[in-house]
């Protein structure tokens, strides 16, 4: 994206145009943020392993001139990504062993997950699917009918999760086609969508998208992904208000990240801002140990101390569940089961 582009002009464009103008160059991003390349531990090799991609709608919330900004740390490719940490792998949560057929994962009883696309609006450096073989295992439009038939044959499946990549990068027409097929499944009660777009590319939340989501007999749940209160700007607030007013259940999941949100004030402020927007703080994940992400890890011991302190400050409904995902387990594991109101 040309750095000289007027922000007002950019934000007047539709979400597809904004997406096409996302930063994909470290140099352009740093120039926009008024940062010197020499002041940052950037790595072109890391960006070749996992490309940089940052929409202006997210970059605009990064403090200019601050190399330690918590939002910048989430997206900037750095040398630490090249360190080989023990017990880190390309498939840290067992996605491959849970794959029933291309695009369909069945890990937990009662729900299945569809890998609808390998694309995201933003490439978060801690992503647990940064090494996932999307080319082989994402759900194509041609495969949708076969996946629907597979779900239909299992009466225990009551929830279908749309994931990725980011499923809201699908066109409205593709989403309509998929949701209409899921709507025919009598045993399915809920459709859950996991998306970072309302936070990083809020222009995606349009009146047309709302119509797609609400014109379905199933209960619709949207799980957004915000790690830091600074991500919530005016455009995000407008998008979330539109979602909330439509009656869609809104939840948030975060990842506990070293140097980004591993302190009490940050976690509490995020929960407060989310709830103001009608979003329930749902999960706070320990880092999934994907190759290239080890420098973000907060230990389980430290995480327990943090969440206990959050419990002492916030009412229970504002305290996200601290969880970790273990490959092959029957459910997500609560790291701290005892919750104090």
Closest of 127, 133, 120 to residue 54, by C-alpha: 120
Q: Can you give the residue ranges of every domain in the chain?
A: 7-82, 99-334
Tell me the Cα Rg of the chain.
19
Per-residue model confidence as pLDDT tens digits over 295-305: 999 999 999 99
**Residue 340: is its pLDDT beyond 70?**
no
Determine the pLDDT at residue 5: 56
Q: Is 220 helix (H, G, I), strand (E, B) or coil?
A: strand
Q: What integer is the mean pLDDT of 50-75? A: 98
Angle at 222 between CA 218 and CA 227, to 5 degrees: 165
Tokens describing residue 11: 């934000």
Backbone CA torsion sign across 271, 94, 124, 68: positive
For 145-182, what is each residue's pLDDT tens digit?
999 999 999 999 999 999 999 999 999 999 999 999 99
What is the spatial distance between Cα 181 and Cα 145, in angstroms, rounded to a whole number? 8
Q: Which long-range contacts (CB under 8 A, 24 or more apart) does 94-97 make?
A: 94/326, 94/327, 94/328, 95/129, 95/132, 96/133, 96/137, 97/327, 97/328
Residue 4 confidence class, pLDDT cut points 50, 70, 90: very low
What is the distance between the alpha carbons of residues 127 and 310, in angstroms, rounded to a whole number?
25
- Our CA dihedral for 258, 259, 265, 266, rounded to 10 degrees, sits at -80
At the second CATH level, the architecture of 99-334 is Alpha-Beta Barrel (3.20)
Measuring CA to CA, which residue among 13, 10, 42 is closest to residue 25? 42
Q: What is the dihedral of CA 199, 233, 251, 163, to 10 degrees?
A: 0
d(CA 327, CA 81) in angstroms, rounded, equals 22
β-pair type (99-101, 280-285): unpaired
- Beta-sheet pairing, 111-115 with 333-334: unpaired
How much is the pLDDT for 137? 86
Pick the residue with more confidence: 123 or 139?
123
Residue 53: which pLDDT band, with cuts at 50, 70 and 90?
Answer: very high
């Amino acid at each position: 994206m040309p750095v000289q582009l007027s922000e007002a002009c950019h934000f007047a464009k539709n979400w597809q145009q904004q997406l096409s103008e996302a930063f994909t160059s470290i140099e352009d991003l740093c120039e926009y943020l008024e940062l010197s390349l020499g002041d940052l531990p950037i790595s072109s090799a890391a960006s070749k392993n996992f490309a940089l991609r940052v929409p202006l709608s997210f970059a605009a919330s990064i403090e200019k001139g601050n190399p330690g900004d918590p939002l910048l740390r989430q997206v900037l490719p750095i040398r630490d990504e090249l360190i080989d940490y023990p017990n880190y792998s390309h498939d840290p949560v067992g996605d491959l062993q849970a794959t029933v057929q291309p695009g369909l994962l069945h890990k937990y009883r009662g729900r299945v997950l569809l890998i609808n696309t390998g694309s995201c609006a933003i490439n978060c450096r801690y992503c647990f699917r940064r090494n996932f073989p999307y080319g082989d295992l994402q759900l194509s439009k041609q495969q949708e009918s076969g996946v629907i038939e597979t779900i239909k044959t299992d009466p225990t499946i009551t929830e279908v999760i749309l994931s990725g990549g980011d499923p809201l990068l699908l066109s409205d027409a593709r989403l309509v086609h998929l949701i209409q097929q899921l709507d025919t499944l009598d045993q399915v009660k809920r459709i859950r969508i996991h998306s970072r777009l309302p936070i990083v590319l809020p222009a995606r939340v349009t009146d047309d998208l709302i119509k797609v989501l609400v014109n379905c007999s199933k209960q619709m749940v949207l799980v957004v992904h915000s790690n830091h209160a600074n991500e919530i700007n005016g455009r995000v607030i407008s998008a979330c208000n539109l979602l909330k007013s439509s009656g869609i259940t809104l939840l948030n999941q975060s990842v506990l990240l070293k140097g980004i949100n591993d302190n009490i004030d940050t976690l509490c402020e995020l929960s407060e801002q989310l709830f103001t927007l009608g979003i329930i703080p749902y999960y706070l994940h320990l880092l999934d140990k994907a190759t290239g992400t080890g420098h973000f890890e907060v230990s389980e011991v430290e995480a327990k101390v943090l969440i206990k302190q959050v419990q002492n400050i916030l009412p229970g409904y504002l305290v996200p569940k601290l969880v970790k995902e273990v490959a092959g387990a029957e459910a997500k594991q609560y790291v701290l089961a005892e919750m104090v109101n």
